[in-house]
């Protein structure tokens, strides 16, 4: 399917690996010019070169912490008038809520709620003036289904979801949409870290931990970043202008609900 966004400009936060990278690949394939972001400058530069050559698009790498005002400004300077914004960021590490102090709670909220809101504030009026905008927030299945030890991540992302539920309806008339994509278990470095902890705690191999986790999923496999990216790209497409304020759950059927 032609997504109808060739030549559009996209910012993809935290896109040097995992789901952010999968989304950057899909948008580059759709013909978008990209600003990609991460903290590893050498890795970002290589990704930018590879995507630019493969898809004949412009790709600008910005090595920065997207949660910092300086990092946000660097990304916005590279793309002051984006048509597409993909909000993505690492989440706080798994930790019992009783271990959280005030500073760690504030840091988690800045990462997963305040930063996306600040970026949306910076770009949404321009999108409205140009009569095209697609904002996708990569959140988590844990927004709908609590996961032990991820209370801070879940709470901040749920707060973002509720905050934007009203905002998105203010801008729908301008062909600007805001949606959330909720990943379940995907084959990424973050999940690999969980398998390593499980293997260490239980004495099983990492591969066995991965297999056991896959067995819990009705699809009987982990998701891959490329299929995640294509779903995100569709939400950014010209065909998705009537979809806003929604939570797209990508979990292989893991969350058991009829609605």
Residue-wise pLDDT for 128-157, tens only, equals: 999 999 999 999 999 999 888 899 999 999
User: For a pLDDT cut of 90, what percent of the chain falls above it?
Assistant: 86
| Residue 32 near residue 6 (C-beta atoms within 8 A) | yes
Mean of the pLDDT values across residues 1-23? 97
Token digits for 47? 């990704």
pLDDT of residue 93: 84
Q: How many CA within 13 A on the CB side of residue 92?
A: 30
Q: Which residue has the tokens 């065909």?
A: 239
- Render 176-200 in DSSP notation, one character per residue: EEEEEEEE-SBSSHHHHHHHHHHHH
Closest CA to 54 of 79, 26, 35, 81: 26
pLDDT of residue 230: 98
Query: For residue 199, what are the CA distances in angstroms to 77, 142, 188?
Result: 44, 22, 17
Residue-wise pLDDT for 56-69, tens only, equals: 999 999 999 999 99
Residue 92 has pLDDT above 90, yes or no: no
Residue-wise pLDDT for 173-230, tens only, equals: 999 999 999 999 999 987 887 788 888 888 899 899 899 999 999 999 999 999 999 9
Mean of the pLDDT values across residues 223-238? 98
Q: Which residue has the tokens 């084959």?
A: 187
pLDDT of residue 94: 84
């Amino acid at each position: 399917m032609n997504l109808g966004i060739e030549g559009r400009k996209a910012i993809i936060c935290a896109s040097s690996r995992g789901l952010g990278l999968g989304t950057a690949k899909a948008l580059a394939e759709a013909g978008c010019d990209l600003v990609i972001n991460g903290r590893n400058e050498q890795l970002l530069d290589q990704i930018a070169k590879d995507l630019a050559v493969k898809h004949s698009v412009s790709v600008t790498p910005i090595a920065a912490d997207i949660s910092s005002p300086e990092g946000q400004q660097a990304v916005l300077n590279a793309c002051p008038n984006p048509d597409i914004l993909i909000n993505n960021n690492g989440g706080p590490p798994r930790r019992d809520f009783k271990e959280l102090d005030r500073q760690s709670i504030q840091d988690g909220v800045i990462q997963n709620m305040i930063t996306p809101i600040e970026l949306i504030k910076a770009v949404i009026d321009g999108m409205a003036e140009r009569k095209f905008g697609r904002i996708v927030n990569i959140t988590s299945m844990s927004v709908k289904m609590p996961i032990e030890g991820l209370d801070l991540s879940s709470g901040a992302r749920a707060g973002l979801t509720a905050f934007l539920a009203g905002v998105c309806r203010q801008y729908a008339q301008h062909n600007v949409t805001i949606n959330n994509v909720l990943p379940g278990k995907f084959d990424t470095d973050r999940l690999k870290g969980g398998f390593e902890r499980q293997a260490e705690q239980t004495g099983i191999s990492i591969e066995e931990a991965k297999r056991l986790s896959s067995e819990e999923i009705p699809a009987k496999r982990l998701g891959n970043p490329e299929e995640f990216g294509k779903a995100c790209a569709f939400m950014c497409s010209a065909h998705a202008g009537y979809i806003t304020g929604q939570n797209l759950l990508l979990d292989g059927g893991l969350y058991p609900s009829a609605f």
